[in-house]
Amino acid sequence: MIWWDLLNGINKLHELSIYHRDLKLQNILYVPNKCAKIIDFGMATLMSDSSESFVGSPLFMSPQVIFNEKYSYKCDIWSLGIIFYCMICRVSPYGDTSNIKVIQ
């Protein structure tokens, strides 16, 4: 159910032409037996052809964001993948590393 709520939430944002750009475990609010909600839209922006800014949390950033390349809605999809990995495996896909090591 949590996954479905997150997928639906991101889908709705993307339908409204919004990138969240800071999806991470800390930005998911879960109400037991009810739903999961995406929160903290401080870094969200409208989609455009010139999205090239280094924002977000390194552990959950897509390579395009880390390397300061042009990116699309797929940066949010990458972040969801990292979130789902953490939820299933209960560890980071990069191990216990600092933000600098994740970026490297």
Identify the domain containing residue 13 by its residue range: 2-103
Q: Cα separation of 16 and 38, whole Å?
A: 15
- Is 80 in contact with 23 (CB distance < 8 Å)? yes
How many domains does the chain divide into?
1
Which of 22, 40, 76, 96 does the annotation list as catalytic?
22
Q: Cα separation of 73 and 48, whole Å?
A: 10
- In this structure, the strands spanning 45-46 and 35-38 are unpaired
Per-residue tens of pLDDT for the chain, all 104 residues: 788 999 999 999 999 999 888 899 999 999 888 899 999 888 887 876 555 566 678 888 888 877 878 778 888 999 999 999 999 998 888 876 666 666 66
Query: Which residue, chain included where needed, has tokens 């750009």?
Result: 21
Q: Alpha-carbon Rg of the chain, whole angstroms?
A: 13
Is 5 designated active site? no
- Is 22 in contact with 55 (CB distance < 8 Å)? yes
Provide the CATH number for the domain around residue 93: 1.10.510.10
Verdict on whether the full-model pTM lies above 0.85: no
